[in-house]
Structure 1
Amino acid sequence: MPANCAALTHPAVSTDTTAWEAELTLGFAPRGDKTALVNRSHRGPLTVQRPFYPEGEVCHVYLLHPPGGVVAGDRLTINASADTAAQALITTPAAGKFYRSGGGEARQTVNLTVADGASLEWLPQETIVYDGARLSANMHIELAEQSRFVGWEITALGRPAAGEGFSDGHAELNWRIQRDGRLFYLERQHLDAQAFQARWGLAGHSACGTMFVYPATPLHLEAVQALIGEEPNRGVTLIEGLLICRGLDERADVLKGFFERVWGLVRGDVVGKEVCAPRIWAT
């Protein structure tokens, strides 16, 4: 990556000549009393800062996309794997942005692999899909039977603070979770202007999100149900050890706050650590 890559920016409207393809591969493994980032390779404008250790052995990594936004034609691929006994947390320093398109589609693919005895937390800040953007986002998660995983994705359609709704474009949000090589969970969401407004869709809420926790128990389910109480537009279910939380909100930061509270309820049992929020979230 060139030294001045951080100064690169995309226009708010995409053109084919500005499209980039980027790929980042990360590998985590225990080294002594810490988890180390033992494999780090990238192609194009996608990289990470040096690892941080705010809670001892857990390796915190911040993903960086220097152009600051994604346009039609861009292809981002993120691969991360955690070896046995590794503990890693991946987040982003700011919201991801997908700009409006003249007709083409941007694609983001995330492939996560978690070995037996390893834990991986995928906790990015929200993804903002501008009015008129066209996004295909794919999450592929490969879990071992004794692995541990916490992950969320929060999507904001339009920019309500700027008076922008979502009258054009779409976001395809796909989750594929495998356990011991067997397809365990498959989900596909198609969000467009109709789904944004419809009662059966987002009912005008700009932010939607899904959170997964594995392995989880009925006690975790009960704890999250108690946390939700009578709060509207929140839900949780448990499917064969996989806890699935969902939420809608007018604001992505409020929805993220809900997921953080769920994280606080389950992390001690799932990861073996109390919550240690990445410092970048407070900046």
Structure 2
Amino acid sequence: MARGALSCQVPCVHGIIGHQRSAGRLELSWGAKGLRGLYQQAPLRALFPHPDTDEPATAALVNVAGGLAGGDSLDSEITLGAGSRLTITTPAAEKVYRTLGPATRIGATVRVGAGARLEWLPQEVILFDNAHLERRQDFSLAEGAELLLAEMLVFGRSARGEVFRQGQVLDTWRLRGPDGLLWADALAMGAVELADPFRFGAAQAMATVLLAMPGAEAHLPVLREIGAATVPRAGLLLGRALGEVGAVRDFVARAVVGLRAAAFGLPGVLPRLWRC
């Protein structure tokens, strides 16, 4: 059942008042000729807006509940067939509200077939004060597959002057290729680490941009012009930003625009839903 930020109270089996939680699930299969299969469980939905000229097909992942509270979960399983092209994004930022105890869980398992190309470009995740997020995302690339990925975490509602003073984050990534693990990353932090001048230095946001494809390292100058970037291994380009929310968002936007054009030959613009 989809619902908003406030959980409904329902009787538990022992007569204790509990909170109703949402558990969204999406299973999406995409082939060279388009959609092959779709299963969706509220509050998670997939929409397919018409792409702009010269743009690949787009799938927009929508949380119709409008946000996630403690104990809620979203789980996605996405498969791209050989030679297919797809951009996955969101129409708005995802909001993770404060928790009364349980974590909010987000999971994604993504498989990109041989010679396929995926752009994984959701808009930012905003952590409200006292949020507790556990996110696990696993990407697998077949031979010749290409992936452009951008993710951004915002620590508090900066537009309202809210600071992420209490809360926890566990954010883990795995990227695998035909021969095994290509990249692994994990962030485990609490609000105390965010404020520490020797850790996050009171940053308002952080972001990761990743390009995985044969010859990805040739596009290192695109990221070096706008921020910190490195080549962890052949075929893998990684950019990172940490700081004021506007500056981090600008880094992501410029990185996505530059890499889409340089690596994929796409128009040098953000996905249409980012521009609406």
Please name the residue that 2:242 is paired with. Answer: 248
1:194/1:87 CA distance change after superposition, 3 Å: same
8 Å contact from structure 2 (residues 166, 191) kept in 1: yes
Equivalence map 1:224-239=2 (5 Å):
224-225=223-224, 227-228=225-226, 234-239=227-232
How far apart are residue 269 of structure 1 and its match?
4.4
SS of 1:152's partner is strand
The alignment-based identity, stated in percent, is 27
Please name the residue that 1:275 is paired with. Answer: 268
Q: Deviations over 1:9-51 (max 9, x none)?
A: 12289995231111101111112xxxx1221111221111234
1:179/1:274 CA distance change after superposition, 3 Å: same
Please name the residue that 1:19 is paired with. Answer: 21
SS of 2:192's partner is helix
The correspondence for 2:137, drawn from 131, 136, 139, is 139
Q: How many residues align?
A: 267
Q: Deviations over 1:187-240 (max 9, x none)?
A: 110121122112332211111011110124443113321x13xxxxx4111122
Give, in whole Å, the separation in 2 of the partners of 1:278 and 1:210: 17
| Unmatched segments (≥5 aa) in structure 1 | 229-233
8 Å contact from structure 1 (residues 13, 101) kept in 2: no
Segment drifting more, 61-70 vs 42-51: 42-51
1:39/1:156 CA distance change after superposition, 3 Å: same
Give, in whole Å, the separation in 2 of the partners of 1:222 and 1:279: 25
1:205/1:12 CA distance change after superposition, 3 Å: farther
Equivalence map 1:54-73=2 (5 Å):
54-56=52-54, 58-73=56-71
Letter in 1 for 2:241: G
The correspondence for 1:175, drawn from 173, 176, 182, is 173
Letter in 2 for 1:182: G
8 Å contact from structure 1 (residues 54, 276) kept in 2: no
| Unmatched segments (≥5 aa) in structure 2 | 10-16
8 Å contact from structure 1 (residues 117, 146) kept in 2: yes
1:267/1:57 CA distance change after superposition, 3 Å: closer
Please name the residue that 2:121 is paired with. Answer: 123
Please name the residue that 1:266 is paired with. Answer: 259
Equivalence map 1:18-37=2 (5 Å):
18-31=20-33, 36-37=34-35
8 Å contact from structure 2 (residues 55, 266) kept in 1: no
Q: Stretches of 4+ moved more than 3 A in 1?
A: 12-16
Please name the residue that 1:219 is paired with. Answer: 218
8 Å contact from structure 1 (residues 110, 139) kept in 2: yes
8 Å contact from structure 1 (residues 111, 139) kept in 2: yes
Letter in 2 for 1:267: R
Please name the residue that 2:13 is paired with. Answer: none
Give, in whole Å, the separation in 2 of the partners of 1:156 and 1:13: 27
Letter in 2 for 1:238: V
SS of 2:32's partner is strand
TM-score, L = length of structure 1 = 0.87
8 Å contact from structure 1 (residues 208, 255) kept in 2: yes
Give, in whole Å, the separation in 1 of the partners of 2:8 and 2:200: 25
8 Å contact from structure 1 (residues 221, 238) kept in 2: yes
Give, in whole Å, the separation in 1 of the partners of 2:270 and 2:55: 15
1:16/1:180 CA distance change after superposition, 3 Å: farther
Please name the residue that 2:112 is paired with. Answer: 114
8 Å contact from structure 1 (residues 26, 79) kept in 2: yes
Superposed CA RMSD in Å reads 2.1
Give, in whole Å, the separation in 2 of the partners of 1:19 and 1:12: 7
